[in-house]
Amino acid sequence: MLTGGMERTFAMIKPDGVRRGLTPEILARIQRKGYRVVGLKQMVIPRETAEAHYAEHKERPFFGELVSFITGGPVVAIALEGENAITGWRAMMGATNPANAAPGTIRADFATTTGENVTHGSDSPESAERELGLFFKPEELL
Ligand code: RTP
Ligand code: MG
């Protein structure tokens, strides 16, 4: 097997997804795709972690709402490993706005609004490393 494109990425089931009981469905999709779960925990994100996670959006008008939403209930934080996992997981999620998400993607299948769009995925290798470091200690990745 070629392993040159092996990557780790940070995936998250957002509070709306957890609240709606979508965790098993989303984990099943990850398993069927063939990614390896190398870290997983259900947690309420501390405000400081949420602000750091979404720091790129600090000046955007929706930042306050975004931080309130993401800290407003438990999430499932997941470290995924697989061939091209960063872009592959983003492809499984679909576009940020569910109205633009391709059929069969998580956001097309389970979400109706941009604000509450069920999952998160790192958008680059740099983001993946940064976000995995925010949510997991090295010894939690197995
Ligand atoms: P994410 O970071 O959560 O995986 O989503 P993304 O890359 O597809 O989208 P991004 O541009 O990074 O935006 C982060 C999250 O902010 C919320 N958002 N709200 N009201 C709005 O116009 C707006 N725009 C973005 C969404 O929850 C989006 O996932
Ligand atoms: Mg993003």
**pLDDT at residue 3 above 60?**
no
What pLDDT sits at residue 57?
97
**pLDDT value for 116:** 97
Nearest CA to ligand 1 atom 9: 96
- Check: CB of residue 49 under 8 Å from CB of residue 69: no
Indicate if ligand 1 lies below 6 Å from the C-beta of 56: no
- Give Cα 72 distance to the centre of its chain: 16
Q: Does residue 115 have its Cβ closer than 6 Å to ligand 1? A: yes
Fill in the amino acid letter for 138. Answer: P
pLDDT digits (tens, 9 = 90+) for 44-98: 999 999 999 999 999 999 999 999 999 999 999 999 999 999 999 999 999 999 9
Is 120 among the residues known to form the active site? Answer: yes
Proportion of the chain above pLDDT 70, given as a percent: 97
For residue 118, give the nearest of 7, 29, 51 by alpha carbon: 29
Rounded to whole angstroms, how far apart are CA atoms 106 and 49? 25
Taking 80 as the threshold, does the pLDDT of residue 110 lie above it? yes
For residue 64, how many C-alpha atoms fall within 13 Å in the half-sphere facing its CB?
1
Per cent of the chain over pLDDT 90 is 96
Report residue 4's pLDDT band, with 50, 70 and 90 as the boundaries.
low
Q: Is any atom of ligand 1 closer than 6 Å to the C-beta of 100?
A: no
> Model's pTM, two decimal places?
0.96
3-state secondary structure of 133: helix
pLDDT given at position 63: 98
Give the total residue count for the chain. Answer: 142
Mean of pLDDT over the chain: 96
CB-based contacts of 26: which residues, under 8 Å, 6+ apart? 13, 17, 106, 118, 119
Prediction ipTM score: 0.93
